[in-house]
Amino acid sequence: MVETIEYQPNRSELGHTIGGRTPVLRIHPGTGLRVACEDCFGGRVRTTDDLPSQVCDPHRLNPVSGPFHIVGAEPGDTLAVHIVAIEPTRDWGVSATYPAFGALTGTHQTPNLQTPLEERVWVYEVDRDGETVRFQDTNGRYRVDLPLEPMIGTIGVAPSGGEVRTSVVPDAHGGNLDSPQVRACTTVYLPVNTDGALLALGDVHARQGDGELCGVAVEIAAHVTVVVDLVKGVAIPGPRLETDTHLMSVGCARPLEDAYRISQHDLVRWAAELTGLDTLDVYQLVSQAGTAHVGNVCDPNYTMIAAIDKTHLAGAVAFGGIHQRLRGLADAVR
């Protein structure tokens, strides 16, 4: 049986940075952790009248729970966070157009002189039993049910070099990856940059389209259950993911082709290391067998994910098979 720690933050314990905060808990590798996470608006946007720019402090968006000190984690290690379950807390979620945010509007990084897009809120019904979320248009004329596919928007560790980053930014430390691949049954690997790693997470989505087009997903509060473990003495350059079938590398950058390059480059290097094949051969294999997934095209860094089916990699086993082991533990945690 795996010990599982419950963590429910007070509002004052929520953080808005990755790094730079005192740990709220110490967690031993191999431990389960069930964390309550607020939505990206801190729960303040509940109706179509609650415009985010009016009800939220712009410096206090995207709250994260944590950080959790992982006992024994040291720089140069890799943190493995296996996601066991993501359970929506409420029967609703929200989305919005937020000022100067999103891929089809001017932003602080791509400014223009046009009149800003209207700020508007959409409230979705979340049917946890039926596993759907219901979109409704502004006039209430049109409704459609979309699959409930919960995912963690923000998960990361303290950055390297003593940096502290807002929780809105994704980068080599993880953070606001906003990628649908970060879901239950996936193991997230993060580079440990500081003693204790300082894991933080939040910003759960009931679902999102690829790229998080308008900048805001179907935002929900949720309980997230993970099992945490360490790969000692193995360093990675940025986030990686593993599922039962795939290995994935995450790239965070602008322009978007650089996020593509980083993710594919890391996957080629990783696969070459795991298989012992020549790097150019792996470059070729990934060119034909690899897939590319768009996380976000709206955050301060964009996110893309490179993936390959493990059966194409000559039976390669990553990180000593830790994913498979954590998958087993997950049943004990659930």
Pairing between strand 170-171 and 291-294? unpaired
Q: Does 270 bind a copy of itself (CB under 8 A)?
A: no
Closest CA to 86 of 249, 250, 218: 218
Contact 319, 189 (CB under 8 A): yes
Angle (deg, nearest 10), helices 256-275 and 279-289:
120
Return the residues of window 139-178 that contact a copy of itself according to CB under 8 A: 139, 141-142, 144, 146, 160-166
Q: Does 131 bind a copy of itself (CB under 8 A)?
A: no
The span from the CA of 93 to the CA of 154, in Å, is 17
Retrieve residue 268's tokens.
């080629």
Q: Does 90 bind a copy of itself (CB under 8 A)?
A: no
Tell me the CA distances in angstroms from 159 to 89, 154, 192, 200, 238, one per residue in order.
Answer: 29, 14, 8, 12, 10
Q: Which is nearer to a copy of itself, 162 or 328 (CB)?
A: 162
Retrieve residue 218's tokens.
């179907």
Contact 60, 203 (CB under 8 A): no
Stretch that binds a copy of itself, among 47-55, 106-114, 194-202, 323-331 (CB under 8 A): 106-114
Residue with tokens 């360093």: 235
Quote the least distance from Cβ 139 to a copy of itself, whole Å: 7
Q: Does 289 bind a copy of itself (CB under 8 A)?
A: yes
Return the residues of window 175-204 that contact a copy of itself according to CB under 8 A: none
Return the residues of window 229-258 that contact a copy of itself according to CB under 8 A: 237, 253-258
Q: Does 310 bind a copy of itself (CB under 8 A)?
A: no
Quote the least distance from Cβ 164 to a copy of itself, whole Å: 4
Q: Torsions phi, psi of 227, nearest 5?
A: -115, 135
Stretch that binds a copy of itself, among 6-14, 40-48, 116-124, 227-235 (CB under 8 A): 116-124
Q: Which of 91, 137, 244, 273 binds a copy of itself (CB under 8 A)?
A: 137
Q: Does 316 bind a copy of itself (CB under 8 A)?
A: no
Q: Which of 118, 129, 321, 331 binds a copy of itself (CB under 8 A)?
A: 118
Q: Does 218 bind a copy of itself (CB under 8 A)?
A: yes
Stretch that binds a copy of itself, among 47-55, 81-89, 220-228, 282-290 (CB under 8 A): 282-290
Pairing between strand 64-70 and 25-27? parallel
Q: Which is nearer to a copy of itself, 4 or 107 (CB)?
A: 107
Q: Does 210 bind a copy of itself (CB under 8 A)?
A: yes
Report the b/e string of 196-231 with b at 16+ CB within 10 A: bbbbbbbbbbbbbeebbbbbbbbbbbbbbbbbbbbb
Stretch that binds a copy of itself, among 22-30, 36-44, 290-298, 326-334 (CB under 8 A): 290-298
Q: Which of 314, 320, 324, 334 binds a copy of itself (CB under 8 A)?
A: 314
The span from the CA of 114 to the CA of 106, in Å, is 8
Q: Does 291 bind a copy of itself (CB under 8 A)?
A: yes
Q: Which is nearer to a copy of itself, 97 or 187 (CB)?
A: 97
The span from the CA of 89 to the CA of 220, in Å, is 8
Stretch that binds a copy of itself, among 2-10, 26-34, 259-267, 323-331 (CB under 8 A): 259-267
